[in-house]
Amino acid sequence: MPRYTIDFNDGFDKTLTDLVKSTDATTKADVIRRAVASYSYLKKLQEENHNAKLVVTDNGKVTKEIVLP
């Protein structure tokens, strides 16, 4: 299995720590793997439909539209 060494600032490390505590992820590496998998899935959907957007709703009302770079 390939290994990576990545330097993160303290704020990013805190974000990873918080995500481990507030999700069912077991490690910081698990959080990063899930984030990359989610991004890969969303990019694939975008490639299949160039006008695709991620939409956040609240009670059926669109609160945010996110377009992937």
For residues 51 and 58, give the distance between their C-alpha atoms in angstroms, rounded to a whole number. 22
Q: Is residue 60 part of a domain?
A: yes
List, for residues 3-53, the tens digit of each pLDDT value: 999 999 999 999 999 999 999 999 999 999 999 999 999 989 888 988 788
Q: Is residue 5 part of a domain?
A: no
Where residue 69 falls among pLDDT bands split at 50, 70, 90?
confident
43 touches 53 (CB < 8 A): no
What domain count does the chain have? 1
Instruction: Tell me the residue range of the domain where 15 lies.
Output: 10-66
Q: Is residue 2 part of a domain?
A: no
**Residue 60: its pLDDT value, please?**
94
For residues 6 and 36, give the distance between their C-alpha atoms in angstroms, rounded to a whole number. 14
